[in-house]
Amino acid sequence: MKPADIPCRKRRGDDLRMSHDLNARSALITGASHGLGLEIARSFVRAGASVCICGRTAEDLERAREELVALAGDDRRVVAVTADVSCADSVTVLVEHALRHFPELTALVNNAGVYGPMGSIEEIDWDGWVEAVQINLFGSVLVARALVPHFKHRGYGKIVQLGGGGATAPMPGISAYAASKAGVVRFAETLAKELRPHGVDVNALAPGALNTRMLDEVLDAGPERVGQAYYDRAVAQQQSGGAAPARGAELACFLVSAASDGINGKLISAIWDPWDELLEHRSDLDSDVYTLRRIVPADRGLDWGLE
């Protein structure tokens, strides 16, 4: 089946399938025609899941679908839908399409995202800035919002929001991305509390610095628009190979598996956090561990600002 058109750290391969079994599960993955989204889809299919992937470019999406179909074999299904997650009408039809093929849909991975315009805030293209926020933040909210009734009805579900460096540190010159990703993570934390009584886990995933087309955008923008320090880090990242997308895909696989049930409202780094050991520390996660928070003077050993 070709894409449908819609308006507007340690385990690999078979070991991964055994450790985070996704048999009989199905997932909707946005932005999955290339890059990390496609890597996540591969990981899910290898682990036994059926997937519905979406993207904005039909040609790229069809190539991804063909690859996943070959990987899936006869026991898993792959559906592809062209969609724009920043458009509410498109999202409505996307979700209807996904649920028509997978009425038992178990998981959503909101991966679709862009950097947006780069440069100082007073000089960047405002329409481009707004569009980046619409894709990164509004897009992830729209798809999650559309699937919440389904997950509530089932009394179970998994939502994974893609965070990123912008959620945890300022990114001068890439403000649309930074602001939207911080919003994505805070939304995930908020939605997690809303859906906890319904058996739905919502978490944010930070995949690390990946060598994708988004890195090429930073290099093309140059130090004049993203700053010399960030540009130099991007060059070093390109030369080193960056973070392995497979590690982020493995974390996504864990977060939609039964093994992560009850882990909720967290921002987890695929690269830096010992997420494959979280089950040993589940009781410690009922705290502000792995969440966004304000740092006060006492957190840094300072004695001012106290009552």
Is residue 177 annotated as part of the catalytic site, yes or no? yes
- Which residues is 230 bridged to in the sheet? none
Model confidence pLDDT, tens digit, residues 94-123: 999 999 999 999 999 999 998 889 899 999
pLDDT band at 167 (very low <50, low <70, confident <90, very high): confident
Share of the chain above pLDDT 70, in %: 81
Rounded to whole angstroms, the Cα distance separating 166 from 185 reads 10
Q: What is the pTM of this model?
A: 0.87
Rounded to whole angstroms, the Cα distance separating 217 from 220 reads 5
Give me the catalytic one of 115, 177, 231, 290.
Answer: 177
* Residue 160 predicted with pLDDT over 80: yes
| Residue 17 or residue 155, greater confidence | 155
pLDDT band at 289 (very low <50, low <70, confident <90, very high): very high
pLDDT of the residue at 230 = 62
The correct CATH number of 4-208+246-270 out of 3.40.50.720, 3.30.450.20, 3.40.190.10, 3.40.50.300 is: 3.40.50.720
Q: Give the neighbor-by-neighbor strand order of the sheet with 107-110.
A: 4-5, 78-82, 50-55, 26-29, 107-110, 157-162, 200-206, 267-269
Three-state DSSP class for residue 299: helix
Q: What number of other Cβ atoms are within 10 A of residue 292's Cβ?
A: 15
Extract the runs of DSSP E, i.e. beta strands, from the chain: 4-5, 26-29, 50-55, 78-82, 107-110, 157-162, 200-206, 267-269
**CA nearest neighbour of 147 among 163, 160, 164:** 160
| Residue 152 or residue 18, greater confidence | 152
283, HSE (Cβ side, Cα atoms, 13 Å): 1
pLDDT of the residue at 15 = 41
pLDDT of the residue at 95 = 98
